[in-house]
Structure 1
Amino acid sequence: MRAIQITEFGGPEVLVPAELPDPVAGPGHLLVEVARAGVNYADTHQAENSYLREPRLPLVPGGEVVGTTGDGRRVVALVGTGGYAERAVAPVPLAWDVPAAIDDVTALGLLVQGASAWLLLRRSVHLAPGESVVVHAAAGGVGTLAVQLARAFGAGRIIATASSPQKRALALELGADAAVDAAEPELRDALVEANGGRRVDVVLEMTGGSVTDQSLRALAPFGRLAFYGMASRREPEPVPPAALLAHSATIAGMWLPHVFQLPGDVMGTALDELFGLASTGLLRVVAGGEYGLTEARRAHEDLRARRTTGKLVLDPSR
């Protein structure tokens, strides 16, 4: 089969097309004929070996696919690695049937990025109706869905940040009440001003560095910041406990794989709600671009350079 293989860690240049043997599905696994593979920011960390879970070489990257099984089921699945290929193997518990009303890009967008936005709002910050929400990187895969879900979950005021006028316009179209330039040097003040002069209740943050620092300073009493990535590759300032006491603030971290350590089928619950909202038109996955499998390097280059919006996918047929 055709696949993308990494034999050394590095930037997008390490994503190399290769001919590899078909994977074999052992007990408890499914072989999926891949229709589309999802591209996530975590994949860029996996390629350079800066991910939370250390990968082993050689490696076929890609953690999510949508396609068909041998018995004709159409599934979206988490595969860990191996997604950038014509065929992939998925554990049976990590494959979910896709409703007929849901297209491939929507299915992939809801699996990792939609579930991440759902978990951030439902479990990490426990969003209450009427609260203000800041969504950083609001034109990205998680951000576009977080803006819409915050609206569906009853947020009072949604403030989006993004790096270009076009991206900020998209966030407003999706339901944000205000949009702020992510490069604003006095970001804390800009967020408070966008919230009508009041500190904000909730921040969803995946940038790192000064964005995290200034967002924490914008929190209202009992405000919560949920941190789920560090796209800038820059660590925020250390936060002493006394600084949290000053505004009764909470900082949460969220890594999607931990959802499978929770009791019950939390992921299934999330997908049921997400598929339902999408089927009725209340939630839209923004298609951010489709690349051929052999264009995986360009997909990573575009993603890291912030040239993209929404959900990126690879087409293994080309």
Structure 2
Amino acid sequence: MMHTDPSSIVLQDLYTKMLLTRIVDNCMLWLYTEGYIDFVSSCRGHEATQVGSATCIQVGQDFTLPFYRDLGVVLTIGMTPYEIFRTSLQTQRQQAGSPDGFQAPLQYWGYHKHNTITGSAPVATQLLHAAGIAFACKLRKAAVVTVAYCGDDATTEPDFQEGIQFAAMHQLPVVFICEQDCTQFYSTKQSTTSQAPSCLHAEALPPHLLYQRIDGMDSVAVYSATLRAMQAAREGHGPTLLEMAVTRSLPTVPLPQSEDPSTVVHGLPSLSNAGTLLDPLVRCQHTLQERGMWNDEWATQLSKRMMTEVERALQDALRDTLQSK
């Protein structure tokens, strides 16, 4: 049996990438509140699902089809904070100059040098694209896995059923990851995320499709489940659908109304006061502490370094965009 429990190095890497995702997400929200961009979909609460799963992807070999909220996925794949800020700012500028007033969503990610496929505006179409890519990889007998992400709103679309049906029928090397938002259930029932009803309870899943529901706030559970699904697909055992239950949250402090982008970076609250175990970063920190892997000095230095790097990337992206003609 394959060992899927993350090592201390992998677990610290998960925490590092989740922290990076949180800081970049804060900056994207700042760009929105200051009017630099007109659209943003925060991934706060999704970090464990996105980073934990994307860490299992073999970058440059496997194919990834994220959906618009998957900031943590594209950062883990290798897109830099500067590239994220610059792309969003440039797209905003192009929309502002569009003669017909066409407004396209800003966060349909594409990173072709790492086999990350740009999504389209209609919900769930990326699942059909993923099935097609996986079918081509199977015909070529390539040891490649395709990973497609979606939100729970995609599960009611015909494209969702068509994608998973086709993948199951042909036993394709593809992993579908559905990020289910359980925020409303938690706020009304005062229960845990894992006890929320599945968003797939009314859907008929095809035979020969492996399915598992995961606590999407637990980076270890997400990493282990995705690693098993990726290995099964790579060995020719067919597709897997992973339903990740997450709880979204808003920033713990109001975003600053300031022209200085550094305030949003240095205004990030201490994770020790960031909330309950519903926060994926706090969950990961507790796991590291339980395993004797947590070091306060390491965490402090990591936070300072990443804040400085992201602040520089944000300032550079603003400068380059404003100076470009």
Common fold: TM-score over 0.5: no
Q: TM-score, normalised by structure 1?
A: 0.36
Structure with greater strand percent: 1
Structure with greater helix percent: 2
Q: TM-score, normalised by structure 2?
A: 0.35
